[in-house]
Structure 1
Amino acid sequence: MESLNMKPEEIETESFRIIDAEAGDHGWPDPEWQIIRRVIHTSADFEYARTMLFSEGAVAQAIAAIKDGAGIYTDTNMALAGISKPRLLPFGCEANCHVGDSDVGALAQREGVTRSVTAMRKAIRNRNNRIFVIGNAPTALFELLRLVQDKQILPALVIGMPVGFVGAEESKRELAASQFGFPFITNVGRKGGSNVAAAIVNALAILAKQA
């Protein structure tokens, strides 16, 4: 049986070396590439090097929001668990998720909508929630865009990475085409997930520390 006698940080360093080597001349500026390579590291999927989308100035605006202590709302507890709290702690950023709250479930059942929708409505009532991380539910992203259109919230950043066959691609397309003026990070297609959404936050936190 083979064993890998490497420390965690050595494994991560070697992983990024392999990613950089295999990606070759990817054409991305360094800040965006730091985010994409961490997404690839999390997913082992090089397709993200071709499908990621960043609004103009998104990385710089995201770093500014983190350094300002912006609250971070996630659409799943999985994304919440994947975000590195120690990396956010120096900036005073708190991450939260309401999808499992009992009042959210009860309201969703009464109104005949998904928990993700009612959770998003609850999330915007906390005005410190300025970064929205969506890695699972297209309904959460559609609802956030509706709330922005209704002028109930203007996010400091939207990370839109919902995954799946129903609505995921469409919700990301709507995000990319939005003209509301907020920065966003997303991708084209059905792929995404809570793990890659969390990876983007972690990459931004590292960049914020370096800035």
Structure 2
Amino acid sequence: MITLSDAQGGALLTAAGAAIERESFATIDAEAAPHDYDPAQWSVVRRMIHASADFDFNGLTRFHPQAISAGLAALRAGSPILCDVEMIRAGLSKVRMAGFGCQAHQLIDRPELIERARAEGTTRAVQAMRQAAREGLLDGALVGIGNAPTALLEVIRLIDENGARPALIVGMPVGFVSAADSKAALMSIGTVPWIAIEGRKGGSTLVVAAINALMVLAGE
């Protein structure tokens, strides 16, 4: 017997593997400190803990009031998923995306954007977000940023200055330069829903876990 994995990008689990996953979630529920997340939010946070074995995300993870509903609506509408790096795109459940008619995109590796970043003294991540806006991949998209704070800051600038309107931003860049600041800036936005991690912690694995959790919820 095999089942669809909720955790590993659409890989197939054996019955034994599914049992291990259920036991893992039960362990997290038993060991987690009390929290104020609602059931849908907790399903996201729990999957992030499952992906990292880090219970700090129980508390560090923040949700815009409309984050869950906006994310589910975007997925069910087949909206694009815009990723800052290939690691996120590769980790998302292709089986679940196909079921919703969603496609994941990342532009950071395009040679012309690398050259543009060098010429303008910016980062590749900044140019990738600008190009995504030009190509119509930003408005209405579910945006996942786990690696590049500059990508998140650029999306925020495009929202503030150009009126860009992603459906949801999962903003979790990790690091020591601008990572915490970029997430703090995201959490100050009221016009676009977001899910974010407070402070320096984060990473592409956490974004994958959060978006895959949303896909599980959207399929229920």
Give yes or no for TM over 0.5: yes
* Partner in structure 2 of residue 109 of structure 1: 118
8 A Cα contact 2:147 2:204, kept in partner: yes
With normalisation by structure 1, the TM-score equals 0.93
The match for 1:36 is 45
2:149–2:182: 8 Å Cα contact kept in structure 1?
A: yes
- 1:123 is matched with 132
| Distance (Å, rounded) in 2 between the aligned partners of 1:27 and 1:175 | 21
Question: Percent identity of the aligned residues?
Answer: 42
The structure-2 alpha-carbon separation of the partners of 1:87 and 1:47, relative to structure 1 and needing over 3 Å to count, comes to: same
Q: Which residue is equivalent to 2:192?
A: 182
- Map Cα deviations across residues 122-155 of structure 1 (whole Å, 9 max, x no partner): 1122324411110011000000000111124111
Aligned ranges for residues 164-203 of structure 1 at < 5 Å? 164-179=175-190, 181-203=191-213
The answer for the alignment partner of 1:209 in structure 2 is: 219
Q: Give the paired residue count.
A: 205
For 1:29 and 1:178, locate their aligned partners in 2 and report how far apart those are by CA, in whole Å: 21
2 CA distance for matches of 1:143 and 1:208? 28
Residue 36 of structure 2, aligned match among 13, 18, 27: 27
Q: Matches of 1:174 and 1:24 in 2, distance apart?
A: 27
Structure 2: segments with no counterpart, 5+ residues: 1-13
The whole-number CA distance in structure 2 between the counterparts of 1:127 and 1:30 is 33
* 1:186 partner amino acid: A
TM-score (normalised: structure 2): 0.89
For residues 198 and 144 of structure 1, the distance between their equivalents in structure 2, rounded to whole angstroms, comes to 19
Are the aligned partners of 2:82 and 2:137 in contact in 1 as well (CA < 8 Å)?
A: no
CA contact (8 A) 1:136 1:193 kept: yes
| Runs of at least 5 residues in structure 1 that lack an aligned partner in the other structure | none
| SS of alignment partner, residue 124 of structure 1 | helix
- 1:139 corresponds in structure 2 to 150
- 2:172 pairs with 137, 161, 169, which one? 161
Please give the alpha-carbon distance, in whole angstroms, between the structure 2 residues aligned to 1:198 and 1:11: 20
Helix, strand or coil at the partner of 1:136: coil
Q: Which is worse superposed, 138-147 or 15-24?
A: 15-24
- Retained in 1: the 8 A contact 2:147–2:172? yes
